[in-house]
Amino acid sequence: MYIDANDLDSKVMEADICIIGAGCAGITMAKEFLNTGVKVLLLESGGFEYDDETQSLYEGENVSLHNFDLADTRLRYFGGSTNHWGGMCRPLDEIDLVQRDGVHDVSWPIQFDELVPYYKRAHIVCQLGPYIYDDPYFWEKQPEFSPLLKESDQLRTSLFQFSPPTRFGQVYRDIFKESENIDVILNANVLEVETDEQGKKITSVKAATLRKKYFSVKAKKFVIAMGGMESARLLLLSNKVQKNGLGNANDLVGRYYMDHLDAWAGAIQLIYDMPIKSMYFDLRTHIASFPAAKFGALLTPTLSTLNDNKLSNFRFIISPAKTSKGIDSSKYIAHEMGAGHLPDNLGVHLKNVLSDIESVANVGLKTVFNSQNDFFKVQPFSGKLVSKVTLDLNMEQIPNRNSRVMLSSEKDFFDQNRIKLDWQVTRDDQFAALKAVEILAAECGKYNIGRVFMPDSIKDGEVDFGISSHHIGTTRMADSARTGVVNSDCKVHDIDNLFVSSSSVFPTSGWANPTLTITALALRLADHLKKVL
């Protein structure tokens, strides 16, 4: 059932499992215990709707290279950040879980094959189609899509899927309403995790509402499912016995913070026009084998490409170029000259034509050889064929110990230290972006696809990477407490009954969006807790 923490009669609640955070991970785990003999308390900071006062608890200090507002990248109410996610889903690649040249500090203590059964179950939770991503025979069955670079041994076309997207807080709300063994406590802000005198066992968690009603929860097992930033923050705040925070004897809590690095990577001027239906990002209506599923496609590196070049993983989204400055200026000059007067800002428009001469020449040649409509009337995006495509590069960030979540001296409503984020990008990340675009350019030339135009920022190693708001790595998984915060079962090292379920446990990020892997690991942890209980 649902209970407002402001209406609680008891100051102490008890359960078999206490899950802190009702986002993707927390809701997925809780529903695995429906109609069992296990008593579960699911604590959620917010209610069912967005609330400014609750959301303000996410504010913090950002001293990163990219000064974004920390409260803008996540949501603090039932369903968590699934209330605004876009729905892109794909498993990690097998190589993302193994040690390799170019990506150091890989500490995954599990193998990819162990995750596959949970990925398949996560498909159901995330309302996806069949578990199919890299079947080499898949494309032979698709009459309306022909991948670029199908003969390349450097780059491949990879599938992802669109969840509707699943709003966990809405889709799974009703299943807890009448539950006899699962209680969802709303407006419950967990302030501290309390331990025994040795700091080896969790005894309770301390919580409060914004109306200053305090209570605690005792349980056999505790799961922190508060996301990539707040999970680390709660461990750091819980420092009465372990002075550096729980699980932090080796100063690893909060370290290795990662996000997926996003950058505009230029464009490809195509030698031959490409049908718009062959554009990569959104294939929702073009996959014949599975008409009900919603697929997209990306261009990604092969295993040999990553190993041979010692690179982090990456992907390109390929989209139709709506226009180009050179073509627009050519059309404007022709229109004005045809009307009998000199164009305004002629110098600017001539500069646009010269700087984009290959696009102008490309369209011109196709006009001469009657491969498309009149040059000055061409509208590449609205027609059936595309002459130029743009490139969006999204990359795995190389793990970096110095990129981290810390505690700020600033305090929140409960007089708790807020988050301080120092997100760092290294020269190795910059080099990886350059190398990725160079590989694409070489393959496009080799297979007569077209010419890649690379932005100066990538050439010069000065990319201002955008954020993807995927908070990864701050309680990383590893076999040893010397290299990670949690073990292969997501249990905090050296603490008997404390677990973490979040993208914070990922030692590496791959390029895939994290929600599907978060869900899979939550299902895996739920199975483990069923066994130990």
> For 492-505, what is each residue's pLDDT tens digit?
999 999 999 999 99
Strand partners, 407: 419
Q: Is the pLDDT of residue 273 over 90?
A: no
Neighbouring residues of 258: CB distance < 8 A, sequence distance ≥ 6: 397, 399, 400, 403, 470, 472, 473, 506, 508, 509
pLDDT score of 179 more than 80: yes
Gyration radius of the chain over CA positions: 26
Residue 355: is its pLDDT beyond 80?
no
* Cβ contacts of 7 within 8 Å, gap of 6 or more: none
Residue with structure tokens 């993707």?
24
pLDDT-derived band of residue 41, with 50, 70 and 90 as boundaries?
A: very high
First-residue to last-residue Cα distance in the chain: 22
Per-residue confidence band for 193, with pLDDT thresholds at 50, 70 and 90: very high
Average of per-residue pLDDT across 253-281:
84
How far, CA to CA in Å, does 128 sit from each of 39, 113, 164, 294? 30, 20, 8, 8
Angle 27-28-31 from CA coordinates, rounded to 5°? 80
Greatest pairwise CA separation for the chain in angstroms: 89
Helices (H) and strands (E) in the chain, counts: 12, 18
Judged against a pLDDT cut of 50, whether residue 210 lies above it is answered with yes
Q: Are 476 and 124 in contact (CB under 8 A)?
A: no
Adjacent-strand bridge partners of 205: 193, 217
Cα 147 to chain centroid, rounded:
25
Reported as a pLDDT band with limits 50, 70 and 90, residue 356 is: low
Give residue-wise pLDDT tens across range 412-434. 999 999 999 999 999 999 999 99
Report the range of poorest mean pLDDT among 189-193, 385-389, 438-442, 527-531. Answer: 385-389
Whether residue 203 is predicted with pLDDT greater than 50 in this model: the reply is: yes
61: how many CB neighbours lie within 10 A of its CB? 17
Neighbours of 294 (CB within 10 A): 21
How confident is the prediction for the chain on average, in pLDDT? 89
CA 158 to chain centre: 17
- Mean pLDDT over 73-102 rounds to 94
What pLDDT is attached to residue 381? Answer: 40
Q: Residue 152's beta-bridge partner residues?
A: none
pLDDT computed for residue 226 by the predictor: 98
The proportion of the chain whose per-residue pLDDT surpasses 90, expressed as a percent, equals 70
Does residue 130 have a pLDDT over 90?
A: no
pLDDT tens string 318-333? 888 765 566 666 666 7
In this predicted model, which residue has the larger pLDDT, 158 or 344? Answer: 158
Q: What is the mean pLDDT of residues 374-383?
A: 43
Quick one: pLDDT at residue 357? 64
The pLDDT of 188-209, averaged and rounded, is 96
Mean pLDDT of 86-110: 92
- Tokens 């009703």, residue located: 174
Question: What pLDDT is attached to residue 492?
Answer: 98
Select from 417, 14, 78, 76 the least CA-distant residue to 216: 14
- Cα separation, 415 vs 396, in Å, equals 36
Q: What is the pLDDT of residues 461-491, one digit of tens each?
A: 999 899 999 999 999 999 999 999 999 999 9
CB 439 within 8 A of CB 153: no
Q: Is the pLDDT of residue 91 over 70?
A: yes
Residue 277 confidence class, pLDDT cut points 50, 70, 90: low
Backbone dihedral angles phi then psi of residue 334, each to the nearest 5 degrees:
-60, -40
* Rounded average pLDDT over 94-104: 90
* DSSP assignments along 329-357, one per residue: HHHHHHHHHHTTSPPTTHHHHHHHHHHTH
48-57, 133-142, 451-460 — which one is most confidently predicted on average?
A: 48-57
- Token pair of 508, please? 């590496």
Please tell me whether residue 440 adopts helix, strand or coil conformation: helix
Going by C-alpha positions, the residue among 61, 24, 106, 77 that lies closest to residue 410 is 61
Closest C-alpha to 478, from 499, 464, 495, 492? 492
Closest CA to 50 of 28, 68, 27, 74: 74
Q: Give whole-number Cα distances, 163 to 44, 67, 90, 120, 123, in Å.
A: 24, 30, 10, 14, 9
How many C-beta atoms lie closer than 10 Å to residue 113's C-beta? 9
